Structure 1
């Protein structure tokens, strides 16, 4: 799988999770119920990304926005086409879905709320994602690729986060069955995370965890 642009990094840089982010956002917004409801946070969106559908969808622009014309803040991704969700999760099991049919190259998953804004999700040990590129799926963590087969390119997929157990699963949203699970050791609050290099993605949150998962 050919990773976009500079996704393969040196070990020392790939393991650096904390950027110059200050202060962190209020963790009191951690949801207490089993379902997570979130929007995408424009303050974190790279200048090549536009939000739409009331900040639940993101579209990639080849030219993007002139970086000088977007508000400069330490939460915005500076080098990679990444955007984070606006809700922190530090407990519980949560499920959301992403419509992926209009993108051919993307990553979806979760990341530490305070990960460096100079890195891409999937290349460090503070983000856990499922990547689709060149008509193939992979799990990604710490820049390691884990092939995922027998899935194709569905119009929509689900993500199941089990924070205490340390698992993030890719779900067949039509069948309600697990496709692949990544294991993780979360050190603090995580947020939904997306990256894309063409097309668009739309998130669907506020969903109950499917009974059979």
Structure 2
């Protein structure tokens, strides 16, 4: 893996319903809205990695977006790949992050259930992002936001469901933040213990999702 910035550029069973998701435990995740970062800022640019995409997800717009198909593709007709998520409608970005401070945005349309964040590149493909200790996500379900890791969740106070939000990752600080791009401001942030390369991670239960990478971090975020 190339060093620093160069390296950085470097959930659902088909037919499952929201109510069948694993039970989530309420918990108090460490939160900090303000922090001093010494990490190098990089314009991470990525596409979605088809090799990781669950069979219910179709990639579009030059592999920067996904659409959830309730029936999905016949798993027997999807090329076998050990990197593919087998049980949950999850897909990773195709770049691995092992250092630096990175920012990207996500547009979500016609969806009432999705997850946005990061996960270890070697995360088990039998799990869903947010349900184990190797992934950190912001989840939207039943008209509510929460921060999730290790199947623990903490509510995120936010009015409504913005069509487009930002994700800020500071690897060295172990920080993941959800950003209101209209202000801009950090809506909520929490800490993680990052032990290896991370990938942008996305879960989608309905509708569609479009990623926007290669962006400058908005001024004023701390």
Instruction: Give TM-score, length-normalised by structure 1.
Output: 0.86
**How far did residue 33 of structure 1 move?**
6.1
2:174 maps to 1:166: yes
2:105 maps to 1:106: no
Contact 1:171 1:180 in 2 (8 A): yes
Contact 2:145 2:158 in 1 (8 A): no
**How far did residue 176 of structure 1 move?**
1.0
CA deviations on 1:44-66 (whole Å, 9 max, x unpaired) are 00000000010000010000000
Q: 2:148 aligns with which of 140, 153, 159?
A: 140
**How far did residue 150 of structure 1 move?**
2.7
Contact 2:58 2:67 in 1 (8 A): yes
**How far did residue 35 of structure 1 move?**
1.1
2:197 maps to 1:204: no
Counterpart residue number, 1:97: 105
Deviating above 6 A after TM superposition, structure 1's stretches of 4 or more consecutive aligned residues are none
CA deviations on 1:148-172 (whole Å, 9 max, x unpaired) are 1133101100000000000000000
Matches within 5 A, 1:16-165: 34-165=42-173
> 1 CA distance for matches of 2:192 and 2:153?
15
Contact 1:8 1:123 in 2 (8 A): no
**Structure 1 unmatched runs, 5+:** 10-31
Once superposed, what is the RMSD of the aligned Cα atoms?
Answer: 1.5
Counterpart residue number, 1:5: 20
Counterpart residue number, 1:186: 194
Contact 2:117 2:200 in 1 (8 A): yes
**Structure 2 unmatched runs, 5+:** 1-16, 25-39
